[in-house]
Amino acid sequence: MVTIDQANQDFAQKVQSKEGGETLMLCFQCGTCTASCPSGRMTAYKTRKLIRRAQLGMEEEVLNSPDLWMCTTCYSCMERCPRGVEIVDLITLLRNLAVEKGVMSEPHKKVGTMLVKYGGTVPLTEEYENQREALGLDRKPVSTLGNEKALADLKKILKATGFDELVGGN
């Protein structure tokens, strides 16, 4: 049950005012998103419930909830929502707000450490390089995975923004 002192309409308004949050109040709680969610079938995560809590301004519950990190961004819910709620954009925005408060799930942090270390969430291995060569590509991509200068620049950005510290450094 939500009591009036838990509701923080400033939070709901803040979400709506940001890119990705504009459709928050369109949700009329039909539950189609929850019924469509493959992640919800395996966990206690309920998309509809997360959105309702955001509508009610339950900032702490939403931003500290492990549920926030259960979405795999498969878009099944968003394709079916009868109200056109941009659910994945909302979840992304809520995650960004959580990160601003220094909150991130441990599995996401682990993925983040890969980015800090290698410049990509999947490191470049000799096997991948061999596959690239077999396809007639340069062994190393031009991205941060294969370009030392680009990787060094990315590391500077991740440090300046505090991302490396958030995910546990190098």
Please report, as residue ranges, which positions from 126 to 165 form the binding site for ligand SF4 (by CB under 6 A): none
Residues 6+ apart with CB under 8 A from 120: 114, 143, 144, 145
Rg of the chain (C-alpha set): 19
Nearest CA-CA partner of 95 in 77, 109, 80, 82:
109
Interaction mask 28-57, ligand SF4, x per CB under 6 A: xxxxxx--xxxxx------xx--x------
Between CA 116 and CA 151 the distance in angstroms is 9
Assigned token pair, 84: 């056109």
CB nearer ligand SF4, residue 17 or residue 73: 73
**Beta carbon nearer to ligand SF4, 40 or 112:** 40
Give the x/- contact pattern for ligand SF4 in 60-89, rule: CB under 6 A.
Answer: -----------xxxxxxx---xxx-x-xx-
Interface of this chain with ligand SF4, residues 85 to 114, rule: CB under 6 A: 85, 87-88
Report which secondary-structure segment, H or E, holds 41: helix 38-42
In whole angstroms, how close is the CB of 129 to ligand SF4 at the nearest point?
33
Residues that bind ligand SF4 (CB under 6 A): 27-33, 36-40, 47-48, 51, 71-77, 81-83, 85, 87-88
